[in-house]
């Protein structure tokens, strides 16, 4: 069967690169507010009832949202196996920390209000805080590391090997630029969580969320701008020095890569991509204004727009690189040499085209059913709430 | 056991996977049982069925969340701990995992929230649809993960690509309709249904013994026993199907499970019990049943089943062929497009045995330099641990038949003895609650331990599949998982027991008022009474 040749290999690779972005953005837009809400929980809500209100704003939806994360993992495995192999093994302990957070969070949501004890509940509140704040920070750190490049190489058998001092080491990830990107994602998701709470709650919680969210939004804008300046002056970019073979086999070692120059030269080559950071600034700026002026639905939408801009700016700036290597630039993973086979990419695209519209449709329906504010009466009056 | 990266990675994977599977079977089965109960509620309108749905739904929720949480580890662990595996077979193995996310996880996870929060927000029928969608999603996820796992056992629809140094898919349909995967899927979900049935039966028996919630408990027993009987039969039938497919796809696994050292004249006998000894290559104190093995394994009286010794000799030959393939592969990789055609042809001819040459990499970096001793050693390595497989399998099968007996007994009592159960049977049902979990874990042990020394049978050795982590990293995460998972387990069990003790919120008044009204309706309209 040569059905898959309907779409050429290079086009499929670009489509899957876009879909990778869509998944990451989908994850940040949906699960992002869960993480933000988790990180805000101990601060926006003081009493037990208040905390239950906050938890119940995400109670019915966090499970579906978290699937974006799992699907992200699965899709990277299916469409970008070398990326899956190199990144998750290289960021080993950081990944372990992220997993621990993502395990802690569902359990916290579900179990917190199943016992009366105040100690039990406050313990889970802090677990939810860690479960939300941890990944929000670490995902940014990981993205920062990807831009800096990581010290891996592929051996003769294409086995991913890491430079001994870096491999798996948590502290190796905490390079200054990576920490700054961590701050961007952390602050951005706090802002997003606050925008969600502004929509779903009222009274004191609502007011606190707005205050904290607008501060976080300003921090995110400043940190994002700083990261741009840093990229211009302090971070080496990577360039493909051999001819681009967009239809070739997925073997990173077949291409040559040089380290040097600036990532931002992409903006000279493809000026249109400036729209991404522009959207990032615009969206976050309007979200901050919205949080201050008591707008609800539009604030959440602006916050989403900002996240969309920020995440896509990273991908568009690095294109065609996905994960560059500092110690052996030739091993760097790019869109052209780190994908699955032509056939697998096609089959997965067909599956995505069938299921993504369905998923979006029923998710939208569920949000519609659950539309409206969560009040203290809802929480205390219902036996179904958390 | 030496603490090296391979052993530690295996230990961590086994631990996290088996822990995950403590929650999965109950999710698979209870999601359906709850949906069945809600269906009865929607069809009859009897409030007690809604109370049952809510009660078992609460227990389902406590269990479900840990299944979801521990499943996250599974999705990422391949990349973290098995990076060469991920690179080598990701082109095939990744696809079912991603489809699982698209088709199953979103479905169950999106609707499970609505199942708990939607009672007052949805119509009866809409809520019922939600319940079935959750059950459907859970079961779809088992389908895709078993297609992925089936491919590790029987890697069809794929070939090695020298340019990318990995296996690539040649036929999605072969991967999808892999006979091993299909048999495994039905066997596994049925095992989940049995687990949930035993659980519901056991907990209900506990209420019967205490004389609490008897109305609810009796109905629950009836549902669980009927559903459980069908499922228990299905588990054994499909387990037999798995054994049959292993006789031509995974001969070594089958021979090891049966401790069949020598090839025998067909039909081979079945060793009921015995003490297999891998060093001496014989089974001490063996009790045989003539013909049985040949019949089960090949469904014929004339087909031979190869014994372990013959399979080791076969592996020896395949390793030697594999070295030829490896040599050609190295030339192809050096010369790329300039490779002479005859080298390409040599590679094509022997590429099926490439994985066998890789077995030598435990002993030498370059298989071409292997000594005859190393080849013999590597061939011997293809025998998995016979003793544990032999016994794990027998205990699992014994439990499987036990569940048929148990379910049949409760089904008969429920159907023909007016739902009366003797106290000893109720006590037994409570004590048997853990049994299906033991059987399920042993089943996975047989499937995965029996696949050794391969991660993908005949394609990629386990020893080569790992990430290049340090022992320190692995010890740290292993300790982390053990501690973290133990704490979660204690918390989960605590909550489960708390909610079982607390029991359902049975609204007796509501039920009685309904029954009275129902009786009145029947009197008023003889047509309904006739229909009843």
pLDDT in tens, B148-199: 999 999 999 999 998 899 999 999 999 999 988 988 999 999 999 999 999 9
Quick one: what percent of chain B has pLDDT higher than 90? 62
What DSSP element (H or E) covers B526? helix B526-531
The per-residue pLDDT for A222 is 97
The per-residue pLDDT for B465 is 94
Query: What is the CB neighbour count within 10 angstroms for residue A184?
Result: 25
Judge whether residue B213 has pLDDT over 80: yes
Mutate to test the interface with A, among B19, B59, B91, B495 (most CBs of A within 10 A): B91
pLDDT digit string, tens, across residues B4-16: 899 999 999 999 9
Q: How far apart are CA B123 and CA B126, in angstroms?
A: 5
Count of domains observed in chain A: 1
Strand partners, B275: B284
Lowest mean pLDDT among B65-74, B165-174, B349-358, B513-522: B513-522
Give the CA distances from residue B209 to residues A116, B409, B429, B496, in Å, rounded to whole numbers and listed in that order. Answer: 29, 18, 11, 19
Quick one: what percent of chain B has pLDDT higher than 70? 98
Give the CA distances from residue A225 to residues A173, A368, B2, B174, B337, in Å, rounded to whole numbers and listed in that order. Answer: 21, 36, 51, 51, 47
Strand partners, A240: A257
Helices (H) and strands (E) in chain A, counts: 14, 6
With beta carbons under 8 A apart, name residues in chain A contacting B119: 384
Q: Does A160 touch chain B (CB under 8 A)?
A: yes
Structure tokens given for B89: 């077979």
Read off the pLDDT of each residue in A74-92 and give the average, rounded to a whole number: 93
| B101 to A106: CB separation less than 8 angstroms, yes or no | no
Strand partners, A334: A321
CB-based contacts of B24: which residues, under 8 Å, 6+ apart?
A: B67, B71, B142, B192
The per-residue pLDDT for A378 is 77
| A341 to B168: CB separation less than 8 angstroms, yes or no | yes
| A344 to B92: CB separation less than 8 angstroms, yes or no | yes
Task: Report which of residues A136 and B276 the model is more confident about.
Answer: A136
Q: Does A158 touch chain B (CB under 8 A)?
A: yes
| B114 to A71: CB separation less than 8 angstroms, yes or no | no
Closest Cα in chain A, distance from residue B163 (Å): 6
Closest Cα in chain A, distance from residue B195 (Å): 23
pLDDT digit string, tens, across residues A115-126: 888 888 999 999
Structure tokens given for B32: 């359906």
Task: Report which of residues B281 and A217 the model is more confident about.
Answer: A217
Q: How far apart are CA A122 and CA B417, in angstroms?
A: 51
Q: How confident is the model at residue B530 (pLDDT cuts 50, 70, 90)?
A: low
Structural domain that includes position A369 = 8-226+340-381
**Mean model confidence pLDDT for chain B:** 90
R_g over Cα of chain A: 21
Q: Does A344 touch chain B (CB under 8 A)?
A: yes
Closest Cα in chain B, distance from residue A316 (Å): 24
Read off the pLDDT of each residue in B511-518 and give the average, rounded to a whole number: 82
Lowest mean pLDDT among B123-137, B245-259, B477-491: B245-259
pLDDT digit string, tens, across residues B275-305: 888 888 888 888 888 877 777 777 777 788 8
| A363 to B101: CB separation less than 8 angstroms, yes or no | no
Domain annotation covers residue A1: no
Closest Cα in chain B, distance from residue A36 (Å): 19
Domain annotation covers residue A87: yes
Q: Does B102 touch chain A (CB under 8 A)?
A: yes
Task: Report which of residues B514 and B227 the model is more confident about.
Answer: B227
Closest Cα in chain B, distance from residue A63 (Å): 5
* Size of chain B in residues: 532
Judge whether residue B442 has pLDDT over 90: yes
The per-residue pLDDT for A182 is 95
Judge whether residue B462 has pLDDT over 90: yes
Interface of B with A in 335-354 (CB under 8 A): none
Q: How confident is the model at residue B1 (pLDDT cuts 50, 70, 90)?
A: very low
Q: How far apart are CA A104 and CA A133, in angstroms?
A: 12
| A88 to B80: CB separation less than 8 angstroms, yes or no | yes
| A106 to B69: CB separation less than 8 angstroms, yes or no | yes
The per-residue pLDDT for B125 is 94
A106, A158, A369: residue with CB nearest B114: A369
With beta carbons under 8 A apart, name residues in chain A contacting B505: 383
CB B236 within 8 A of CB B213: no
Read off the pLDDT of each residue in A8-24 and give the average, rounded to a whole number: 94
A76, A89, A384: residue with CB nearest B117: A384
Domain annotation covers residue A246: no
* Domain boundaries of chain B, sorted by first residue: 5-238+468-507
The per-residue pLDDT for B270 is 84
Task: Report which of residues B256 and A376 the model is more confident about.
Answer: B256
Please identify which residue in the block is written with the tokens 């203290």.
Answer: A376
Structure tokens given for A263: 């990532």
pLDDT digit string, tens, across residues A351-363: 999 999 999 999 8
What DSSP element (H or E) covers B327? helix B308-335
pLDDT digit string, tens, across residues B315-324: 999 999 999 9
The per-residue pLDDT for B531 is 59
Domain annotation covers residue A283: no
**ipTM for the complex?**
0.91
| A384 to B333: CB separation less than 8 angstroms, yes or no | no
Closest CA to A98 of B474, B491, B87, B77: B77
Domain annotation covers residue A353: yes
Judge whether residue A12 has pLDDT over 90: yes
């Amino acid at each position: 069967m040569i059905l898959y040749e309907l779409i050429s290999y290079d086009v499929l690779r670009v489509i899957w690169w876009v879909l990778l972005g869509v998944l990451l953005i989908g994850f940040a837009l949906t699960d992002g507010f869960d993480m933000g809400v988790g990180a805000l929980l101990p601060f926006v809500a003081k009493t037990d009832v208040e905390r239950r209100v906050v938890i119940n704003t995400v109670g019915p939806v966090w499970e579906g949202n978290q699937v974006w994360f799992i699907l992200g993992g699965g899709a990277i495995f299916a469409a970008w196996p070398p990326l899956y192999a190199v990144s998750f093994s290289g960021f080993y302990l950081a990944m372990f920390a992220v997993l621990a957070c993502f395990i802690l969070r569902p359990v916290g949501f579900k179990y917190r209000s199943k016992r009366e004890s105040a100690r039990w509940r406050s313990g889970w509140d802090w677990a939810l805080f860690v479960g939300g704040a941890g990944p929000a920070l670490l995902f940014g750190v990981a993205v920062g590391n990807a831009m800096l490049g990581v010290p891996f190489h592929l051996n003769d058998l294409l086995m991913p090997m890491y430079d001994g001092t870096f491999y798996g080491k948590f502290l190796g990830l905490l390079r200054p630029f990576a920490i700054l990107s961590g701050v961007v994602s952390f602050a951005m998701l706090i802002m997003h969580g606050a925008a969600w709470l502004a929509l779903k709650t009222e009274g004191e919680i609502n007011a606190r969320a707005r205050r904290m969210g607008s501060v976080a939004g300003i921090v995110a804008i400043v940190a994002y701008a700083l990261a741009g300046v840093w990229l211009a002056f302090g971070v080496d970019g990577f360039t493909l020095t051999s001819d681009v073979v967009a239809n070739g086999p997925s073997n990173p070692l077949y291409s040559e890569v040089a380290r040097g120059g600036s990532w931002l030269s992409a903006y000279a080559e493809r000026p249109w991509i400036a729209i991404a950071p522009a959207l990032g600034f615009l969206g976050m700026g309007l979200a901050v204004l919205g949080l201050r002026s008591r707008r609800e639905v539009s604030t959440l939408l602006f916050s989403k727009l900002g996240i969309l801009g920020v995440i896509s700016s990273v991908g568009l700036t690095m294109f065609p690189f996905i994960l560059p290597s500092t110690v052996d630039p030739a091993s760097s993973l790019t869109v052209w040499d780190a994908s699955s086979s032509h056939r697998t990419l096609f089959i997965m695209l067909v599956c995505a085209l069938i299921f993504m519209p369905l998923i979006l449709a029923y998710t939208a329906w569920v949000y519609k059913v659950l539309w409206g504010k969560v009040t203290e009466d809802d929480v205390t009056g219902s036996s179904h709430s958390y | 056991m030496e603490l090296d990266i391979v052993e530690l990675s295996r230990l961590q994977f086994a631990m996290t996977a088996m822990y995950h599977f403590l929650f999965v079977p109950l999710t698979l089965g209870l999601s359906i049982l709850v949906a069945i109960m809600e269906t009865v509620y929607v069809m009859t309108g009897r409030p007690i069925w809604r109370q049952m749905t809510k009660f078992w739904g609460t227990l389902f929720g406590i269990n479900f969340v840990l299944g979801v949480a521990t499943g996250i580890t599974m999705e990422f662990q391949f990349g973290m701990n098995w990076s060469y595996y991920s690179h080598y077979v990701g082109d095939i193995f990744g696809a079912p995992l991603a489809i699982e996310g698209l088709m199953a996880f979103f479905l169950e996870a999106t609707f499970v929230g609505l199942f708990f929060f939607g009672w007052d927000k949805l119509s009866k029928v809409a809520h019922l649809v939600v319940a079935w969608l959750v059950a459907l999603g859970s079961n779809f996820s088992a389908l895709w993960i078993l297609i992925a796992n089936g491919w590790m056992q029987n890697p069809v629809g794929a070939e090695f690509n020298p340019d990318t140094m990995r296996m690539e898919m040649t036929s999605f349909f072969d991967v999808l309709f892999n006979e091993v995967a299909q048999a495994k899927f039905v066997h596994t979900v049925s095992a989940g249904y049995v687990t949930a049935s035993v659980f519901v039966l056991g907990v209900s028996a506990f209420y019967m013994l205490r004389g609490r919630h008897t109305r609810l408990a009796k109905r629950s027993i009836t549902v669980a026993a009927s559903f459980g009987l069908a499922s228990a039969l299905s588990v054994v039938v499909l387990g037999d199907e798995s054994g049959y497919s292993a006789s031509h796809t995974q001969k070594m696994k089958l021979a090891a499970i049966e401790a069949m050292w020598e090839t025998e004249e067909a039909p081979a006998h079945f060793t009921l019990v015995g003490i297999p000894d891998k060093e001496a290559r014989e089974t001490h104190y063996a009790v045989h049943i003539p013909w049985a093995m040949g019949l089960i394994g090949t469904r014929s009286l004339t087909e031979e089943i190869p014994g372990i010794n013959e399979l080791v000799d076969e592996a020896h030959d395949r390793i030697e062929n594999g070295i030829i393939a490896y040599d050609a592969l190295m030339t192809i990789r050096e010369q790329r497009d300039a490779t002479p055609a005859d080298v390409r042809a040599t590679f094509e001819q022997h590429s099926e045995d490439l994985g066998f040459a890789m077995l030598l990499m435990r002993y030498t970096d370059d298989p071409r330099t292997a000594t005859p001793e190393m080849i013999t050693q590597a061939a011997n390595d293809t025998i998995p641990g016979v003793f544990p497989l032999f016994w794990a399998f027998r205990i699992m099968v014994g439990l499987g038949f036990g569940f048929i007996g148990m379910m049949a007994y409760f089904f008969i009592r429920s159907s023909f003895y007016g739902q009366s159960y003797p106290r000893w049977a109720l006590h037994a049902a409570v004590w048997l609650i853990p049994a299906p979990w033991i059987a399920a874990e042993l089943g996975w042990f047989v499937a995965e331990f029996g696949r050794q020394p391969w991660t993908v049978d005949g394609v990629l050795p386990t020893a080569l599949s790992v990430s290049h982590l340090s022992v320190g990293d692995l010890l740290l995460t292993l300790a982390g998982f053990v501690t973290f998972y133990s704490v979660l387990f204690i918390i989960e069990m605590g909550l489960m027991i708390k909610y079982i003790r607390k029991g359902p919120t049975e609204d007796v008044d509501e039920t009685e008022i309904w029954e009275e009204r129902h009786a009145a309706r029947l009197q008023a309209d003889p047509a309904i009474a006739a229909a009843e």
